[in-house]
Amino acid sequence: MLAGLLVVFPLVASLMLFLMKGRQVRNLALGLSVIPFALAIAAYMQFKHNPDSSNLLLNCTWIKSMNIHFALGLDGMGLLLVLLTTFLVPLIILSSFKTEYTNGHAFYGLILLMEMALIGVFMANDGFLFYVFWELALIPIYFICLLWGGEDRARITFKFFVYTLFGSLFMLIGLIYLYNHTYTVAGTKSWAIADLYAAGQGLTEAQQSAVFWLIFIAFAIKMPVFPLHTWQPDTYVTAPTQGTMLLSGIMLKMGTFGLIKWLLPIVPLGLAKWGGTAITLSVIGIIYASCIAIVQKDYKRLIAYSSIAHVGLISAGILAANQQGVQGAVIQMLAHGVNVVGLFLIADILLRHTGTRDIDKLGGIRSMNGNFAVLFLIVLLGSVALPLTNGFVGEFLLINGVYQFSPVTAAFAGLTVILGAVYMLRSYQGIMLGERRDAAVAFGSLAGSDKAVLIIVCAVIIAFGVYPKPLNDLAEPAVKQILSVVNK
Amino acid sequence: MVKLVGLVPLFPLIGFLINGFFGKKLSKGLSGTIASVAVLASFVVSLLLFFDAQHLPGHKAEVSLFGWISADTLDIPFEFLIDPLSSWFLLIITGIGFLIHVYSTGYMHDDEGFQRFFTYLNLFVFFMLLLVLGNNYLIMFVGWEGVGLCSYLLIGFWFKNTDYNNAAKKAFIINRIGDLGFLLGIILIFISFGSITYGQVFEKAGIVNESVITTIALLLFIGAMGKSAQIPLYTWLPDAMAGPTPVSALIHAATMVTAGIYMIVRSNVFYSISEVAAEVVAIVGVATALFAATIGLLQNDIKKILAYSTVSQLGLMFLGLGVGAYSSSVFHVTTHAFFKALLFLGAGSVIHAMGGEQDIRKMGGLKGKIKVTFITMFIGTIAISGIPPFSGFFSKDEILAHVYEHSPVLWFFGMVTSMLTAFYMFRMLYVTFWGTFRGTHEQAHHLHESPSSMTIPLIVLAALSVIGGALGLPEFWGMPNWMHHHLDPILYRKSVSMLSHETEWMLMGLAVVAAAAIIFFAHQLFVKNRVLPEANEAKLKPWQKLIANKYYVDEFYTAIIQKPLDMIALAFHKFFEIQLIDGIVNGVGNSVKGIGSVIRLVQNGNIGMYIISMVLGIILIFLTLFIL
């Protein structure tokens, strides 16, 4: 019941918004977007009470001839990501209050539609359904970027769309291949996740290797992992702030989530053979993107590259396929989602208040708005993973996980600790400290909606840095469960 | 009683929150009082804990607050440990911390960022307390990085000044290099021992492969190199003097920079087992001690002199750790906290009197003008120079005796270091306080003693610098060495002096005579002959220039690390990213588009063309069917 509602409600809300007119639509959007979060909290309560509750499951036949089911369910990890999604969407909507979007009803409608698809991805227990939600998520974000984006949006958005769609086709081939092999394990062809796991594990090493790459490429493009990342910086910069938040805060977690739930348990042999290569790529990406971030002038582009670096570590931790690495990845997905929304809002605030995001043109904002400086600093600290911020818990577990794969690789991955500090502090100093520069002359005070979002983000950063136990309590058994399948 | 341990960090945390949230609405007096009282309250609780801890079974108590991070076998509780080591550091941190808070209420009185200053200062004390109170390595790491953050915030306290901001950034980044080593060390501890809680790790240390222990010890030491400013990661500390002077006293002399010492004493098991690691610590320590002392000889900024002196003294402590003299090093941490905090605060008082001037060449003749500052700084200088019966004499002598036992060569370098120390310290003292006043007329008119909020902490610290040696009287005098006995329970291998009494007397005598001779020499030079440090850098001899420019190490690091990093980053960005990778991606996209535009020509809307191709197609199909 609850499971179905989680997916259906955002869809209904989205349709309602599409039919609305006028400026008040954003208030309605905000109000409606809080409800899925309430539903997710209800699901959390239910899950704590009884993880196997039928309330959290939905399974009905969808396309009988191909044995496709509309199967939804929640484990601890899926629940965390649903909580993240439903928590972030209201914040994302609130962060748009100071920007006037033409056709707001369509804008907010698309955001809610996107939310539906994302929740679907995190809940799907049927391979085909997963793929449908996966592709469905691309459509609203494509239009958000295309219609409300910035300079050169048509070309950049097209590239983003084609690139990710192209990647997804590999996954489709991989899934169909697995589907065709379910016959031997399930007696009938099936898209059910457990059957796909069994089918994949029944394959030879060579077959598993092929499937590994087919599916990995789709996820790697989505995250993105080096060297499949070049669509990302342009897209992040050009997309409207809310689009960037959706892309980086939630959508990239489809890729990392996919790795854990839809790749590791399916092809353990393929992982054993090729995981090391994929980890190496991920770690190269950490260093590579961090270095590039150091020389960025546009703060939004800098965050885009820092996101590639962070995701590289998450990906490496997952592929290390041990409890610390994978659990760290789950925790870091949540932290990264929250922090990056804060960072992109800060980039947006800079642009709105000064007319530029160019670090070289900014400076001295701290002396004009101390509160903003503090909030900015807290988000930054979360991002550089200072202990007692949410970023640290995941990062520590991730490096730990990678270390168990290879100490040397972990040392390289750990360079993020140093390089992250370099680009984050450099840019903070350039923007906030020093003498006041021309662009920052009349910075003024923050709008109520911006302040609210930043305060909530900062509160979460500290709260889950000091007390991450509720998150770990959900992630730990879920990851253990998945790894037990992987290591069977 | 030990249950109250949570209160120790709680008070400064509350002070931080009050000043952080409501500081702007508070008067300066109230804000400073809240911050100071918070630390005082911690000190009182620490005292109670300290006496209580003497009677604990097994000399320790663990207090668990909540489960923090858990992932399968990795289980890290937020847990505190009270034992002889932590309870002693609590006293140093909160005691000295309180004095410096009081001092700061006077020193920072006219600063518009007064409340912000105390916010950061309380936060620092909170993290420093976590660092020493944690019962596992990760809590230590929390405090470790937390104090690094506060150090960053306080070095760059005057955030409009770009140089200060650069110094702050440099401190944070260099510390992060060390922190990565520390972090990897913690992970290796977990992997080797299945736990990172001190007790569980140390009891199994004997059964783990020695090469693993060595790796762990070296990784941890990388962390210590960063935080405690040892070669090659020391360059941030002299720059850190950009922060307000009380910060230099508290963070960059008395407490934070000794965290590396604390970490190694805490982990003494590893360094007792791994001789390689211990030797590395000793060599890095002695090299840093000597190297920094030589730089100190030719500095003219009063705070820079003290900064290099701090680096050098920390090196001496690591030398002690390297030869297994753990309790001697903690003893020196303690006396150093007294006299170096005193010297920094005294320097602050001088700077205050001089209206912000820090160059000793522009001072001179201050001894009659600011008497309390002069007398207390004089005491501090004697104490650091190793003249009995002042505190520094006992702690330094104890370290050097152990070093001699280990290796006379290392002892020799240690001796040279302490002679250099006596020289540059008395040089600073003589040039500042003797001779004639060399400042501007306006400064001369303005000269005044600091308010009592500043002088009282000076007097207290001076008293401690005089009597602090009583904490560790030499055993060969037949006296009880309290520090030695106090720390005994936490040491894996007890250090017992094997030297004969005659040797010990001889070493001690030699040290005193050498120091006295150096001081006499300095007196001749700077008081009798009134030699002044060269004001014109162009006139320096080449070797002096080399030293005055700190051996160009900063320039060297810029050339081999910073510049290449920027170049690599640019190369990645301009070439690899835009030309190569994205070039390939766009190339693939464009060629697909290209093929598309060629194939599109076929669909040109000409029906005749379609019919012809249809016919051709049918023929082709038939042909293939027949042939096959």
Report CB contact under 8 Å: A292, B577. Answer: yes
- What letter represents residue A171's amino acid? M
Instruction: Name which of B67, B146, B173 is nearest A387 (Cβ-Cβ).
Output: B146
Whole-Å CA distances, B40 to B123, B151, B537: 14, 21, 46
Residue of B nearest to A226 (CA): B581
* B455 and B449 Cβ atoms separated by less than 8 Å: yes
Query: Cα–Cα distance between A77 and A74 in angstroms, integer?
Result: 8
Whether A227 contacts chain B with CB within 8 A: yes
HSE of B31 in the Cβ direction (CA atoms, 13 Å)?
27
Residue-range domain boundaries for chain B = 1-135, 274-548, 556-627
- What does DSSP say about strands B74-82 and B61-71: parallel, antiparallel, or unpaired? antiparallel
Report CB contact under 8 Å: A417, B149. Answer: no
Which A residues 149-188 touch B at CB under 8 Å?
159, 162-163
Which B residues 145-164 touch A at CB under 8 Å?
145-146, 149, 152, 156, 159-162
Domain that holds residue A103: 2-487
Query: Cα–Cα distance between B57 and B73 in angstroms, integer?
Result: 29
Bridge partners of B67, per DSSP, are B77
Report CB contact under 8 Å: A292, B569. Answer: yes
Q: What angle do CA B270, B275, B279 make, to 5 degrees?
A: 110
Average pLDDT over chain B reads: 91
Report CB contact under 8 Å: A327, B72. Answer: yes
Query: Cα–Cα distance between A179 and A219 in angstroms, integer?
Result: 19
Cα Dmax for chain B: 119
What is the domain count for chain A?
1
Percent of chain B with pLDDT over 90: 62
Phi, psi of B217 (to 5 degrees): -60, -40
pLDDT digits (tens, 9 = 90+) for B583-610: 888 888 888 878 878 877 777 777 777 8
Instruction: Give the tokens for residue B220.
Output: 């941890």
Residue of A nearest to B131 (CA): A387
Which A residues 384-443 touch B at CB under 8 Å?
386-388, 393, 396-397, 399-400, 403-404, 407, 410-411, 414-415, 417-418, 421-422, 425-426, 429, 432-435
Instruction: Give the tokens for residue B215.
Output: 């790796």
The helix (H) or strand (E) run that includes residue B589 is helix B582-600
Whether B66 contacts chain A with CB within 8 A: yes
Instruction: Name which of B156, B166, B180 is nearest A418 (Cβ-Cβ).
Output: B180
Task: Kindly give the interhelix angle for B84-107 and B114-133, rounded to the nearest 10 degrees.
Answer: 170
* B302 and B362 Cβ atoms separated by less than 8 Å: no
Query: Cα–Cα distance between B497 and B463 in angstroms, integer?
Result: 30
Instruction: Give the tokens for residue B227.
Output: 């935080």
> Does the pLDDT at position B496 exceed 80?
no
pLDDT digits (tens, 9 = 90+) for B370-421: 999 999 999 999 999 999 889 999 999 999 999 999 999 999 999 999 999 9
pLDDT tens digit at each of 488 positions of chain A: 889 999 999 999 999 999 987 778 889 999 999 999 999 999 999 999 988 888 888 999 998 888 999 999 999 999 999 999 999 999 999 999 988 888 888 999 999 999 999 999 999 999 999 999 999 999 999 999 999 988 889 999 999 999 999 899 999 999 999 999 998 888 889 999 999 999 999 999 999 999 999 999 999 999 999 899 999 999 999 999 999 999 999 999 999 999 999 999 999 999 999 999 999 999 999 999 999 999 999 999 999 999 999 999 999 999 999 999 999 999 999 999 999 999 999 999 999 999 889 999 898 899 888 899 999 999 999 999 999 999 999 999 999 999 999 999 999 999 999 999 999 999 999 999 988 877 666 788 999 999 999 999 999 999 999 999 999 999 999 999 999 998 87
Among B429, B446, B444, which residue's Cα sits nearest to residue B387? Answer: B429
* A108 and A17 Cβ atoms separated by less than 8 Å: yes
